[in-house]
Chains A and B, each alone.
Chain A
Amino acid sequence: MTFYLLLATALFLMALYGVFASRHLLRRILALNVMSTAVFLWLVTVARAAPGLDPVPHAMVLTGIVVTVSTTAVAVVLVVRLRASHRRHDLP
Chain B
Amino acid sequence: MIPDLFQIGPSLLFVAPLFAAIAAFVRPRAGAGIYLVSAGLITVASLALVLMVGTLGAWRMDLGGWVPPLGIGWQVDGLSVAMLLLTALVMGGAGVYRVAEGDAGHSPLFWPLWLFLWGGLNALFLSADLFNLYVTLELVSLAAVALIAMGGRTALVPAWRYFIATLLGSTVFLMGVALLYGQHGSLDMRLLQGALGPAAIELLASLLITLGLLLKGAVFPLHFWLPAAHGRAPSAVSAALSGVVVTAAFYLMVRLWFGPFSPMLTPALALALGAMGAMGILWGGVMALLQRRLKMLIAYSTVSQLGYVLLVFPLVASGILAAQAWHGAVVLILTHGFAKAALFLSAGVLIRSLGHDRIDRLKGPGQGPALAWLAFALGAVSLVGLPPSGGFMAKWWLLQSALAAGAWHWALVILAGSLLTAVYLFRVLGGPTAGAMTPSSDHSTRAMGFTALILALAAWIPGFVPIPLTGALADTWGMP
Report A-chain residues with C-beta under 8 Å of the C-beta of B145: 74, 78
Q: Which of the segments B11-19, B163-171, B361-369, B389-397 contacts the partner chain?
A: B163-171
Q: What is the distance, in angstroms, from B103's C-beta to the closest C-beta of chain A? A: 22
Interface size on B, as a range, is 20 to 34
Q: Report whether B178 and A43 are in contact in the complex, using a CB–CB cutoff of 8 Å.
A: yes
A18 to B70, CA, bound (A): 35
Residue pair A39, B178 in contact (C-beta under 8 Å): yes
Contact pick for A85, options B69, B156, B181, CB 8 Å: B156
A35 and B69 contact, CB distance less than 8 A: no
Pick the contact of A74: B146, B171, B187 (CB < 8 A).
B146
Encode B144-179 as 1/0 by CB contact (under 8 A) with A: 011001000100110111011001100100110011
Q: Does B135 contact A (CB under 8 A)?
A: yes
Kindly list chain B residues whose C-beta atoms are within 8 Å of the C-beta of A28: 164
Q: Within 8 Å CB of A46, what residues of B?
A: 178, 181-182
Q: A72 to nearest B CB, angstroms?
A: 10
Are A19 and B142 within 8 A (Cβ)?
Answer: no
**B182 lies within 8 A of A42 (CB):** yes
How far, in Å, is A42 (CB) from chain B's closest CB? 5
Does B357 interact with chain A (Cβ within 8 Å)?
no
Answer yes or no: A50 CB below 8 A from chain B CBs.
Answer: yes
Q: Is the interface of A mostly helix, strand, loop or mixed?
A: helix
Contact B174–A36 (Cβ < 8 Å):
yes
Instruction: List residues of A (35-72) whose CB comes within 8 Å of B's CBs.
Output: 35-36, 38-39, 42-43, 46, 49-50, 54-57, 60, 63-64, 67, 70-71
Of B149, B168, B178, which is within 8 A of A78 by CB?
Answer: B149
**B171 contacts which of A39, A49, A75, A85 (Cβ < 8 Å)?**
A39
Instruction: Looking at the assembled complex, report how far the CB atom of B279 sits from the nearest CB atom of chain A, in whole angstroms.
Output: 22
Q: Assess the B171–A32 pair: CB atoms within 8 A.
A: yes
B160 adjacent to A82 (CB under 8 Å): yes
B174 touches A64 (CB 8 A): yes
Among the interface residues A12, A28, A35, A71, which one has the most CB atoms of the partner chain B within 10 A? A71
Q: Please, how many angstroms separate the alpha-carbon atoms of A82 and B167 in the complex?
A: 18
CB pair B171–A35 under 8 Å, yes or no, is yes
Bound CA span A54–B174, Å: 18
Chain B, interface SS category? helix
C-alpha gap A65/B168 in the complex (Å)? 16
Q: Which residue of B lies closest to A20 (CB)?
A: B168
Residue of A nearest to B69 (CB): A56
Name the A residues within 8 Å of B202 (CB-CB).
none
Most buried by A among B70, B182, B185: B182
Known interface pairs A28-B164, A57-B181, A63-B135. Does A70 touch B156 (Cβ–Cβ under 8 Å)?
no
Q: What's the nearest-Cβ distance from chain B to residue A65, in Å?
A: 12
Q: Which residue of B lies closest to A59 (CB)?
A: B131
Query: Are B138 and A12 in contact, CB atoms less than 8 angstroms apart?
Result: no
Contact A74–B163 (Cβ < 8 Å): yes
Q: Is the CB of B181 within 8 A of A78?
A: no
Taken together as a complex, chains A and B put the C-alpha atoms of A19 and B164 apart, in Å, by: 8
- Which residues of B sit under 8 angstroms from A91, Cβ to Cβ? 157, 160-161
Q: B182–A86 contact, CB under 8 A?
A: no
Chain A residues near B182: list those with CB within 8 A: 42, 46, 49
Contact with A along B57-96 (1 / 0, CB 8 A): 0000000000001100000000000000000000000000
What are 17 A-B interface contacts by the 8 Å CB criterion?
Answer: A32-B168, A32-B171, A42-B175, A42-B182, A54-B185, A56-B185, A57-B181, A60-B178, A60-B181, A70-B142, A74-B146, A78-B159, A79-B160, A82-B156, A85-B156, A86-B153, A91-B160
Seed contacts A39-B175, A39-B178, A46-B182; 12 additional CB < 8 Å A-B pairs: A32-B171, A36-B174, A43-B178, A55-B70, A56-B69, A57-B181, A67-B135, A75-B163, A78-B149, A78-B156, A86-B153, A91-B157
For the complex of A and B, list the 10 residue pairs with the smallest distance between their C-beta atoms, beginning with the closest.
A46-B182, A42-B178, A35-B171, A85-B153, A67-B138, A43-B178, A39-B174, A39-B175, A60-B131, A82-B156
